[in-house]
Amino acid sequence: MSDPCVRLQRDGKVATVSLDRPAKLNALTPAMLDELEACARTIDADETVRVVVLGGGPAKAFCVGADIHEWSALNPLDMWRRWVKRGHQVFDQWARLRQPVIVAVNGHAFGGGLELAIAGDIRIAAQTAQFALPEASIATCPGWSGSQRLVQLIGASRAKYLALSGERWSAADALGCGLVHEVVAGEALDARAQALAQAMASKAPVALQLTKLLVNAAAGEGREAALEAMAGALSATTDDAAEGLASFREKRGANFEGR
């Protein structure tokens, strides 16, 4: 088996996930999608993790998108099943993690790399970072929510500009339109992301997670699951819920009182 290209580390209440394919500028492969999914599942199941930092590791780029050599030979059905659909599954899983996700963009975030970055909640960019959706230049389209999630962040007009022109935005451009929240010197990026993560991790974790759930729902991200999760959690705290369980165990009719 080849070495993993996505690495997970924990430091107390903060988990750090790093893309680690520097020779290819973190271009995404099917194996990396699997690794990103595995990391998300591990984090979601870990009650000690309160905040997540996602970064580009030792590469000079955050992620330059999907590895063209991995998908260019696929037939149309496999392109849909093994690539576009799979990427959506993984990125949606990251977008809907219960913990806040801070993305540290250390360099180029192009195509699928930009789409991965916007699956996070907060983005901090190095001054040298650049952002682009270059898919049209190779006769394809954004495939992992670049045409959907990005509109929620920066509006349809700016999203069209990026996707139709293929132009690169600087970190300052991205900051000006709200694509990123902070821009720092490259050497300060990791420290700033970790400091913000630690500060967030000191806050009430359930409140953080519920707030993220509410804001995501307002933006159309997992609205149905959010409503059902909150309704289920609220109903589970009632006296009627306790009575319902007791009546089931005791094989008798329930006496609900609306409390």
Among the options 35, 70, 135, 250, which is catalytic?
A: 135
Task: Specify whether 135 is catalytic.
Answer: yes
Among the options 115, 182, 250, 257, which is catalytic?
A: 115
Task: Specify whether 250 is catalytic.
Answer: no
DSSP string, the chain: -PPPSEEEEEETTEEEEEE--GGGTT-B-HHHHHHHHHHHHHHHH-TT--EEEEE-TTSSSSB--B-HHHHTT--HHHIIIIIIHHHHHHHHHHHT-SS-EEEEE-SEEETHHHHHHTTSSEEEEETT-EEE--GGGGT----SSTTTHHHHHH-HHHHHHHHHH-PPEEHHHHHHTTS-SEEE-GGGHHHHHHHHHHHHHTS-HHHHHHHHHHHHHHTTSSHHHHHHHHHHHHHHTSHHHHHHHHHHHHTS-------
Catalytic center residues: 115, 135
